Every structure is written in C-alpha cells, then in structure tokens.
Chains A and B, each alone.
Chain A
C-alpha cells in the first residue's frame, strides 16, 4: 500500500516531466535540423531555403541538394545519434559499467566483419551486389549477437561480467578476422577502411525508412525498461529483492539494443564515441533516473551528431572529415568540462 503510493506520486511527476522533455526535445531537434539545412559545401542562402520549405519551388539543383542530400543526412544523423546514445545508456545500466558503449557487446564487430565480407564479395562477384552491403553488415551483427548470447549463457548464467566478457571476446575474435581480411585485401582495402570509420554521406530516404521503425520501437522498448534499470542501478541483489529477474532483464536489453545498433550501423558504419559519452552527459545534466536520462540522452545524441556532421562537412570543405573523429574531438572537451563543473 505504502509502496504503491510512493510509486504513484513519482509516476505523476515523471509523466509531466516526460511529456515536457519529449515536446521540448522534438522541437529543439526540429529547429536545429532546419537551421542546419543552411550548412554545406555549396552556399545556399537562408532565404532560398525558407522559400524552398514554404513554397516548394526552387531551381532543380537547390531542390536536389536540400531534399536529397542535406535533409536525409540530418535525419539519419539524428536517428543514429539518438539510437547510439539510448543504447549506450541502457548498456551502461545493465552492465553497471561506465565504460560500456553500444559496441561493447560485440554487435559492431559483427557488423564490421559482415560489411568487410560484403565488400570483398562485391569484388569477387562483380558489381551486382553493390547495394546489398547493409544486409551483409546486418547479418554479421546478428551472428555476433547470437554468439555473444550463447557464450554468455554457457559461461555464467548471464550475469553482467559474463555478458561483458563474452562481448569483449567476440569483439576481439571478429576484429582479428577483420584484420586478416584487410591484410588479404587488395583493391577493396579502401572501402573497408572507410566503412570502419563511419560515414553519413550516403544517407537517403530509403535507408531512413528502413531504420526509422526499429529505432523508434527499440528505443520505446528500452524506455519501458527504465524502472527496472533504475532498480538494477541500486545493485544486483537489491534489484532481485525488488522482484526483478536481472538475468532476463539483461538479456532483453542486450537483444533490443543490439538489434537497434545493428540496423543503424549497417547503414552508417561505425560512428564511435557518441554512445559512450552522451549518456554520461545526460546523467550529469539530469541525474541517473533512466526514465528521464534515456530520453534526454536520445535528444542530446541526435543534436550532437547533427552538429558534428555539419562540422565534418564544412571544416575542410570540399574534403569531408570522418565523423567519428569529429565526435571525439568535440565531445571529449565538452565532457571534461561538464565533469569538472559537476565536481566543483
């Protein structure tokens, strides 16, 4: 009786907060997204862009640049940033490890191996398979997911160390296989390395339509586990006492998170750092409650990746800097600044 009362008042408070966060967050992402349509290697005036957005008519090139290049890239950046940050936050929760990121459980290594095999396959079979690369990456990710899941079950009935070690072991194994492939490769070497660095430049609406649902549904599912994650953050035993099957929770979050990440990285390649640092920044800003922290992380991640991609595009234009480098160069000072401020 007493317990449910406490939960209820908390619930009302939290519900209001959440609605505010979602409304405000969406608005900010939208405004920043539209604002960022202004940036690119080609100069298009804000007036032309407003004209295009409102009246729809402009010359063909402008139309193409805004609607087929800049807009999908911004949307893909936002989705990717949101997905990586939420999953990173959830993984840090289930593993009770601040160094966890979306890639730590092996899914990225699987996707990378799949992509490298796909690229090698392209060169062997000719050009017919060029557009199936994301499929290879996704299958690779699923394979690593399966292996991590199986080996964690065998070794330690899915406690956090077991899962973590299985993930790290599979990551090492797959990375070694990638290294072998890279050593054997000849002309395909460049493509593989570019894939491993992550790239949003190939964004288009079709890709977005494929990843949109998994990201939204997956994030929602992670979000509905927020209370359980809160309980787990008190400690393994405490969570068990609250009636939570921590083993199952961990496997559930691991599977959902990995599917989200697999879908996203299959199209973008490995964009590093976002999923590690944004959840921490969210935690520094709003505290450790996963019900608030996860959505904040999603919005922060979206904004952060959109802005990083803009920098990647314009700093050395027309040369593009790999986005993974920008996320770290911009993110680390920001993170250290927040950390210092918090400690003061």
Chain B
C-alpha cells in the first residue's frame, strides 16, 4: 500500500514534468538554436536564440501567441488586438498598416510576427532595419494550424503547438462527422449580411465560407469568390433559411434593433429566414480571424444550423 502510494506520487510528478516540459523549454527535445523556419513569404528566418520579446502586428497573431501560452512575452500589439483580455493591456504599436517602425524598434523585439496581405509592403523595410520577422497569412483552417505550429516550432514549444492543434482538430472532426450524416437537402441556405445598406458577403475562398460549409450550411454566395458586393435582389432570390450578422461590439438592445432593420428591408419579406425569425447576431472576430477561436465559431454555426 505504502509502496503504491509512493509509486503514484512518482507517476504524478513525472506526468506533471512531462506536461510542463514544453513550458520549461525541456531538455529532452529542445530545438537547437540557431533555428530556421520558412515563413509564408518563403523567406528563411533564422533565430539565433529562443525569442523572449514578441511583437504581434495583427490581432490573429496576438491570439495565437496567447493561445500558445506566450502571452507573457508579448511586448507590443496593434490597436486592434482585443483578445484575450490580457492583450488589451500590452503596449500598443499603433495601426496595422503602415507599421510604426520607430515604435517597433524601441520595444526591442526578438521576433515580430507580421501579417502578409497589406503588410507585405512593410516587411522588407522591417527586415532592412534588422528586425527578425516571421510573416503569417492564414486564410483557412489548415493554414491556421500550420501557422500555430510554425510559431510553436520557432519558440521551441512544438509539443505545445501539437497539443493545441490536436485539440482543435478533434473538435473540428467531431463537427465534420456529425455533418457528414446530414444530407445536402436538409442543410440550410445561409446568408451572411451586415447592417449597412451596401451588402458585402463572403464567397468562396473566405474563412467564413469554409466554416459555413464545414458546419453543414450552404452559403448563398458560394459561387462568388472572396468578399463581394451583392445586390439585395440576389439575396431575395436565393431565399436563405438563416441570416448571420457578424458584428463587433454588441448588446441586447442593439441586436434587436439590427434584426428589425434587416427584417424590414424592401423586398425581403418573403425570405424564409425573415419569416421564421432566423436572424442571428454573432461576434465577428470568431469568423474573420484565422485563430484557434474560429473553432468556437464553427461550433456556434453548427448549433445555429442544426440544433
């Protein structure tokens, strides 16, 4: 009995150590610095030592850093980094573009996690100034997982990256398996709308479209590519069963107001989603950002569509 107790303590300690290894930069599978990763721009980025001071130039990068438990080491974020709560208190580097190089340099980062897209033109200058920058540009689920793993590798916590990605993959697979049993005919037609008169909706190639499809819905704009401006007629003709309205900050009063505005649009009274009051206001960050939280978005969509 005594022996068993001792044994279990040893087991507990070793499990604890094993779990903690990635946090401590464990000895067993420590990466050798200098370490080189190939980023999304195809650039080989070499890190001479384990980075201790991070700057994130995009909300998505910030979320990934915090999800990997590197939040403590983040010394600069953009004006738009609002998640998690702790990210709001990190020093601000300003806008997403053009980057404020002076502010970035003054924070003495070991590693800047930049975003492709509209930051592309800023990246050469950043590197010219001697800043080590890894450029990420996840546009879908798969790329996001790749980005997470890339950051984890660069920071010598690949175990932790794998655990995070495995967990997310499991949740995604669960939704996928449930959706695979739902015939196309009983999948709802979905329209993603906004609050303004001009309608921009995500088509094929957007993260939103991917999540809708994965959650077992049929995006009415799937035949278009990327974000497109569409006419109200297009929506009326498509007769969506569900309307999703992604929005930033919201409260109960605003939500009902928005639903009212959308319902009263000219020529939309025949749309099933409006007749059946199937308008849902959701947090846009779950669908626009390629971050671990988008799996929350996926689960939310599944709930809306099928529960």
Contact = CB atoms under 8 A, between A and B. Distances in A.
Interface of A: 40-42, 61, 64-65, 68-70, 119, 122, 126-127, 130-131, 133, 183, 186-188, 190-191, 194, 199, 201-202, 204, 317-320
B183 interface: no
Given A188-B118, A319-B79, A41 B98 contact: no
A194 B129 contact: no
B199 to A, nearest CB: 14
Contacts of A201: 98-101
A41 B102 contact: yes
Contact of B105 (A61, A119, A131, A320): A61
A-B residue pairs, 10 tightest by C-beta: A318-B94, A190-B118, A186-B226, A42-B106, A127-B41, A318-B103, A201-B98, A191-B118, A319-B94, A41-B103
Given A194-B97, A194-B118, A319-B94, 14 more contacts: A40-B102, A41-B102, A41-B103, A68-B128, A69-B105, A127-B41, A127-B42, A186-B227, A187-B226, A194-B98, A204-B128, A317-B103, A318-B92, A319-B95
A191 B94 contact: no
Contacts of B122: 202
Interface residues of B, number: 33
B125 interface: yes
A315 B92 CA distance: 15
B101 A130 contact: no
B128 A187 contact: no
Contact of A131 (B116, B118, B124): B124
Contacts of B117: 187-188, 190-191
Contacts, number: 86
A69 B79 CA distance: 21
A40 B225 CA distance: 42
29 contacts: A41-B100, A41-B102, A41-B103, A42-B103, A64-B105, A64-B129, A69-B129, A119-B121, A127-B41, A127-B120, A130-B120, A130-B123, A186-B225, A186-B227, A187-B118, A188-B117, A188-B118, A190-B97, A190-B118, A194-B118, A201-B100, A201-B101, A202-B98, A202-B122, A202-B125, A317-B100, A317-B103, A318-B93, A319-B94
Contacts of B105: 42, 61, 64-65, 69
B130 interface: yes
A69 to B, nearest CB: 5
B106 A320 contact: no
A76 to B, nearest CB: 13
Interface of B: 41-42, 79, 92-95, 97-103, 105-106, 108, 116-118, 120-125, 128-130, 225-227, 229
A38 to B, nearest CB: 13
From A40, A41, A188, A190, residue with most partner B Cβ within 10 Å: A41
Contacts of B229: 183
A317 to B, nearest CB: 7
Nearest to A131: B124
Nearest to A192: B118
A186 B95 CA distance: 20
A271 B105 CA distance: 26
A198 B42 CA distance: 29
Nearest to A186: B226
A129 B101 CA distance: 22
Contacts of B116: 127
B131 to A, nearest CB: 10
From A65, A127, A133, A199, residue with most partner B Cβ within 10 Å: A127
A70 B105 CA distance: 12
